[in-house]
Amino acid sequence: MERLRPIGYGGHALQQMRLVEAEDKRDNAREPAPRAARSRRRLVRVGKYAAIAGAAVATLLGAGWLSQRPVPPRFLTVAVTRGTVARTVTATGTVNPVLTIIVGSYVSGVIKDVYCDYNTQVKRGQLCAKIDPRPYEAALAEAKGQLARDTGQLAGARLDLARYAVLLRQDSVAKMTYTDQLALVKQEEGQVALDRAAVQTAEVNLGYTNIVSPVNGTVVARNITLGQTVAASFQTPTLFLIATDLTRMQVDTNVSESDVGAVRNGEAADFTVEGFPDHTFHGSIVQVRQAPQVVQNVVTYDAVIGVDNNNRAFQLMPGMTATVSIVTAQRTSVLRVPDQALRFTPGGFGAGTTGQEPQGGGSAPSAAAGAGQSMRVWVLRGTRPVAVSVRTGLDDGTYSEVLGGDLRPGDGVIVGEQRAAADSHARTFHFGL
């Protein structure tokens, strides 16, 4: 007897047909029967074929009906928790010392000596560089010589004035001669005063050839080298930058005009820098400067963040770029739900759910939760979604504070659903003979 194997839907029917064919072969191999008997056997075979075909059709129809039955959705839930809801403003800024002193040069000349380098700890009055003083020493000597000469002329003019005064009392000299001599004395006194001022100016210029630190601090930049010529004729050149205290730093943050209204002095601010990507620095707003900064029609304001820089393991350096998060509002240990749950509406809505029946299917977007706004979330109770009305508070873009409603910590709020795509017309049945 031939071995049979069912293939796909209707395999049992094919097996029955093959059995009938095997019986026909056995009958044909027997002795010839009367015509009436052969007719009866032919009718029986036709009836068997018809029954088998009907069974196959019924099997296919049943399989198609089962494939078209709707598959219940699978809901994705997130537990309601207690935690912190914080609204933040994100910006970028630059780490700078609190006070940076620019040390320049009042006089021009050639750098003769350099005594301070990068990172040098300096004291107030400490000599950092020296400009060649010889031209200014010569100018001082010239001013002093001019003063000495004019002082001698003044002394001679005063003696002549005294002699003319005696002669005038004796009527031995004209009064005009006396008055002319008196005017000459006044002129000489004025010239001596100018010479003394010139000497003082030469002394000051000579003193400016010594470049000294005006404060206690650290040299963060040196812009001169030995033998360099400094020209201070039109603008003061910058020789050194000295930071007064590197244990206190500040972050100058560029806050956009749309966010600056929410930033206040004293608010907490966290930031990270590329130099220490795994460490978060903490500070606070010390000043919101009202001077706008306009770059390509984009208006920003400088929010200054003060930060302690005593941590030697994570010590900030001037010029680092900081990514800042300013906390403008915060609630701690409050009941909170994900914002995605406030925007969710179950699709394929079926019987047995509570609350307002949604229109259409899928997740329907809605406005973000505002303070004291009445919203609705869907909670999975058993296998059915149940609508629960809640009153929301602070929203940080990820979570919203729950001020009221029938929600408890641990409740599973629905944030999404998954549906199996079933299309009975896409099924293909293969029959093997």
Q: Which range is least confidently modeled, 9-18, 294-303, 386-395?
A: 9-18
Average pLDDT across the chain, whole number: 82
Q: What is the pLDDT, as a whole number, of residue 10?
A: 47
Residue 397, judged by CB atoms within 10 A of its CB (0-12, 13-18, 19+), counts as: exposed
49-53, 390-394, 423-427: which has the highest mean pLDDT? 390-394
Measured N-to-C along each axis, helices 11-29 and 35-67 cross at an angle, to the nearest 10 degrees, of 170
13 pLDDT band (50/70/90 cuts)? low
Q: Which of 238, 421, 410, 393 is nearest to 329 (CA)?
A: 393
Are 74-83+334-418 and 100-240 in the same CATH fold? Answer: no
94 pLDDT band (50/70/90 cuts)? very high
Q: Which of 107, 101, 127, 103 is nearest to 115 (CA)?
A: 127
Q: Which of 399, 421, 390 is nearest to 340 (CA)?
A: 399
Q: What is the pLDDT, as a whole number, of residue 73?
A: 74
Which H helix or E strand runs over 341? helix 339-342
- Please tell me the pTM assigned to this model: 0.62
Distance of alpha carbon 370 from alpha carbon 90, whole angstroms:
20
Q: What is the pLDDT, as a whole number, of residue 14?
A: 56
Contact predicate 396/88, CB 8 Å? yes
| Domain at 91-97+247-330: CATH code | 2.40.30.170
Domain ranges of the chain: 11-67, 74-83+334-418, 91-97+247-330, 100-240
Distance of alpha carbon 128 from alpha carbon 240, whole angstroms:
9
Is the pLDDT at 374 greater than 90? The verdict is no
**Six-digit token pair at 49?**
């074929």
In this structure, what DSSP letter does residue 354 have?
B
Give, in degrees to the nearest 5, the angle at Cα 80 between 75 and 83. Answer: 145
Q: Which range is least confidently modeled, 1-5, 50-54, 92-96, 369-373?
A: 1-5
Domain 100-240 has CATH 2.40.50.100: yes
Question: Sheet holding 100-104: strands in order across?
Answer: 100-104, 238-243, 217-222, 121-122
Q: Which range is least confidently modeled, 55-64, 197-206, 309-318, 382-391?
A: 55-64
Q: Which of 125, 146, 141 is nearest to 205 (CA)?
A: 141
Q: Report the top-level CATH class of 74-83+334-418.
A: mainly beta
Q: What is the pLDDT, as a whole number, of residue 145?
A: 96
pLDDT-above-70 percentage for the chain: 74
Average pLDDT over residues 260-276: 93
The DSSP annotation for 24-73 comes to HHHHHHSPPPPHHHHHHHHHHHHHHHHHHHHHHHHHHHHHHHHHTSPPPP
Which H helix or E strand runs over 7? none
Q: Which residues pair with 305 in a beta bridge?
A: 251, 285
Average pLDDT over residues 170-192: 92
Contact predicate 211/113, CB 8 Å? no
Whole-number Cα distances in Å, 280 to 93, 271, 286, 307: 15, 6, 19, 12
Distance of alpha carbon 114 from alpha carbon 224, whole angstroms:
8
Whole-number Cα distances in Å, 183 to 35, 154, 187, 194, 260: 172, 11, 6, 17, 70
Average pLDDT over residues 148-165: 93
Strands 298-308 and 384-395 turn out to be unpaired
Q: What is the pLDDT, as a whole number, of residue 260?
A: 92
The secondary structure of the chain in percent helix, strand, coil, rounded to multiples of 5, reads: 30, 35, 35
Contact predicate 289/260, CB 8 Å? no
Residue 176, judged by CB atoms within 10 A of its CB (0-12, 13-18, 19+), counts as: exposed
Helix (H/G/I), strand (E/B), else coil: 275 = coil
Whole-number Cα distances in Å, 48 to 28, 37, 43, 54, 231: 18, 17, 9, 10, 117
Is the pLDDT at 8 greater than 60? The verdict is no
**Six-digit token pair at 348?**
């394929």
Distance of alpha carbon 8 from alpha carbon 314, whole angstroms:
70
433 pLDDT band (50/70/90 cuts)? very low
Average pLDDT over residues 145-156: 95
Query: Tokens 């003044």, residue?
Result: 154
In this structure, what DSSP letter does residue 197 have?
H
In angstroms, how far is the first alpha carbon of the chain from the final one?
16
Is the pLDDT at 122 greater than 80? The verdict is yes
406 pLDDT band (50/70/90 cuts)? confident
Q: Which range is least confidently modeled, 126-130, 290-294, 382-386, 421-425?
A: 421-425
Q: What is the pLDDT, as a whole number, of residue 195?
A: 95
